[in-house]
Amino acid sequence: MFQTFLKDRRVQLLGLIALATVLLGRFLLTDGWALTAVIKSGYWMILLATLVWGMVIWQLAKVEGWRFEWPWLRRNAAVAALILGIGGLWQAQETHGYKILADEALLLGTSLNMHMDRDVGYPLRATDVQGPFQILQGQLDKRPYFYSFLVSVVHDFTGYRTTNPFWLNTGLSFVFLALLYGLTVKAGGRRLAGVLALVLAAGLPLLAQQAAGGGFELLNLTLITGWWWLAIRHLEKPSAERQDALVLTSVLLASTRYESMLFLVPTAALLVTAWWREQRVIVSWPTWVAPLFLLPMFWLNRAFSANANFWEMQSVGAETPFGLQYVAGNLGHALAYFFSFDGFQPNSPYLGLVGLLALPLFILWAQRIWRAPLTSAGADTGLALASLGAWAVTGLMMVYFWGQFDHPVIRRLSLPTQLLMIVAAVVVVGRLMRPVAKVWGGLIAGGLVALMVFSIPSMAKNAYGRDYSPAMAYAWRREFLERQPMRDMLVIDRDSLYWIAERVAATPILQAQLRKEGIAYHMRNHSFSAVYVYQTFTVKPETGELTLAPEETMGPDYELVPVAQRRTHLLQIGRFSRVVSIRDGAKILAQADTTFTSLDSELTPAQLATAKRGFVEPDLKPEQLEAAKREYLDRFVRELP
pLDDT, one tens digit per residue, over 405-417 is 999 989 999 999 9
Q: Quote the number of domains for the chain.
A: 2
Higher pLDDT, 468 or 329: 329
pLDDT confidence of 174, banded at 50, 70, 90?
A: very high
Is 159 a domain residue?
no
Domain of 11?
Answer: 1-28+62-75+226-306
Lowest mean pLDDT among 192-196, 260-264, 480-484: 480-484
pLDDT of residue 177: 98
Question: Pick from 24, 219, 32, 210: which is nearest to 111 by CA?
Answer: 219
Measured torsion, CA atoms of residues 205, 209, 210, 212, in degrees rounded to the nearest 10: 140
Is residue 5 domain-resident?
Answer: yes
Residue 291 belongs to a domain? yes
What is the predicted pLDDT for the residue at 317? 67
Question: What is the distance in angstroms between the CA of the first residue and the CA of the last residue of the chain?
Answer: 66
Which of 265, 286, 306 delimits the end of a domain? 306
Whether pLDDT at 158 is above 80 = yes
- pLDDT value at position 2? 65
Q: Quick check: pTM over 0.85?
A: yes
Calculate Rg over the CA atoms of the chain.
28
Say which residue, 62 or 637, is predicted with more confidence.
62
Contacts of residue 96, defined as CB under 8 A and 6 or more positions apart, other chains included, come to: 163, 166, 167, 170, 212, 213
For position 466, what pLDDT does the model report? 77
Cα–Cα separations (whole angstroms), residue 293 to 51, 288, 296, 546, 566: 12, 10, 7, 51, 46
Q: Is the pLDDT of residue 269 over 90?
A: yes
389 within a domain of the structure (yes/no): no
pLDDT at 624: 54
Average pLDDT over residues 23-39: 92
Q: How many CB atoms lie within 10 A of CB 163?
A: 11
Residue 205 has pLDDT above 70, yes or no: yes
Give me the amino acid identity at 59: Q
pLDDT tens, residue by residue, 528-545: 989 999 999 999 988 889
- Asked, for residue 371, whether it belongs to a domain, the answer is no
Contacts of 333 (CB under 8 A, 6+ apart): 403, 404, 405, 406, 407
Higher pLDDT residue, 3 or 158?
158
Average pLDDT, the chain: 89
* CA dist 100 → 140, 209, 306, 415 (Å): 19, 10, 25, 15
Q: Above 70 in pLDDT, residue 636?
A: no
> How far is C-alpha 599 from the geometric centre of its chain's CA atoms?
38
Partner residues linked to 490 by β-bridges: 505, 531
pLDDT score for 526: 87
Please report which confidence band the pLDDT of residue 605 belongs to, taking 50, 70 and 90 as the band edges: low
Over residues 161-176, mean pLDDT: 97
Phi and psi, residue 131, nearest 5°: 120, -85
Strands 490-493, 505-507: parallel, antiparallel or unpaired by DSSP?
Answer: parallel
235 confidence band (pLDDT: 50, 70, 90): very high
Coil, strand, or helix at residue 183? helix
**Spatial contact of 513 and 554, defined as CB atoms under 8 Å apart:** yes
**pLDDT of 68 strictly over 80:** no
**CB of 25 closer than 8 Å to CB of 294:** yes
Q: Where are the alpha helices (DSSP H) in 129-239?
A: 146-158, 164-188, 191-202, 205-211, 217-236
Final residue in a domain of this structure, among 306, 323, 355: 306
Domain boundary among 306, 329, 360: 306
Q: Given this model, what pLDDT does residue 67 score?
A: 79
Residue 214 located in a structural domain = no
pLDDT of residue 569: 84
Is residue 561, in this structure, part of any structural domain at all? yes
Return left, alpha or beta for 640; rule: phi > 0 is left, psi -120 to 50 is alpha, else beta. Answer: beta
Quick check: is 70 in a domain? yes
